Amino acid sequence: QKEVEQDPGPLSVPEGAIVSLNCTYSNSAFQYFMWYRQYSRKGPELLMYTYSSGNKEDGRFTAQVDKSSKYISLFIRDSQPSDSATYLCAMKISGSSASKIIFGSGTRLSIRP
Amino acid sequence: DTAVSQTPKYLVTQMGNDKSIKCEQNLGHDTMYWYKQDSKKFLKIMFSYNNKELIINETVPNRFSPKSPDKAHLNLHINSLELGDSAVYFCASSPSSGSTDTQYFGPGTRLTVL
């Protein structure tokens, strides 16, 4: 079983829809949770970063963490064609002096105009 | 201004060759990383250096050898290239190796081994 599981998609939704992207994880030592966005032929860029259970909002994006269920989500409101990209969830263990990020396999999202 | 840059952007080579990929960051960060992203978009860490010192060394064939001449540069040399080495290699940097530090990724080097 992989440490981080993510549905690869592809996921295609119409413009303006609410998008829900999800990941599950097995290692309860993960304490920091991130969402990266990766456009085609580009490097990943950090979108959201959280370390506590609950919701964190940034504009049209909301990151949700449920540590009891080992489940994280990213919601995109009023989705735009420019949101079309691969979204990677990522996690880190806290307190490590050489902390490494464990990535999910990414969900490819397409927003139809 | 490019924060994390990699050269070359594309690399096509024959099996058995030796090649190098270079990475530079102008962010003043202490920590740099090499990641490999396979054809299924799975991104996995290979190495990390903090102030020129190796701190993460994942299970990677010893044909792969990172070198950090200074904290702004981290190069990756690959000996005896194999078909399975074909992937996109990303360099990244962060202010330090701490848990809360954001990693900034370069544009990637697409390596194709024929």
Query: What's residue B22's pLDDT?
Result: 97
Angstroms from A78 CA to nearest CA on chain B: 26
Condensed to tens digits (0 to 9), the pLDDT of residues A77-95 reads 999 999 999 999 999 886 6
Do B45 and A100 count as a contact with CB atoms less than 8 A apart? Answer: yes
Rounded CA separation B29/B23 (Å): 13
- In degrees, rounded to 5, the angle at the alpha carbon of residue A103 between the alpha carbons of residues A101 and A105 is 170
Question: Smallest Cα–Cα separation from A23: which of A12, A13, A14, A36?
Answer: A36
Instruction: pLDDT band for B1, please (50, 70, 90 cuts).
Output: low
Q: Which two tokens stand for residue A100?
A: 């490494």
Helix (H), strand (E) at residue B108: none
Query: Chain A interface, mutation test: which of B7, B32, B39, B42, most A Cβ atoms within 10 Å?
Result: B42
φ/ψ (deg, to 5) at B112: -120, 120
pLDDT at B80: 97
The mean pLDDT value for A46-67 works out to 93
Instruction: Say if residue A97's pLDDT is above 80.
Output: no
CB pairs under 8 A between A and B: 61
Q: Mapping DSSP to helix (H, G, I), strand (E, B) and coil, where does residue B56 land?
A: strand
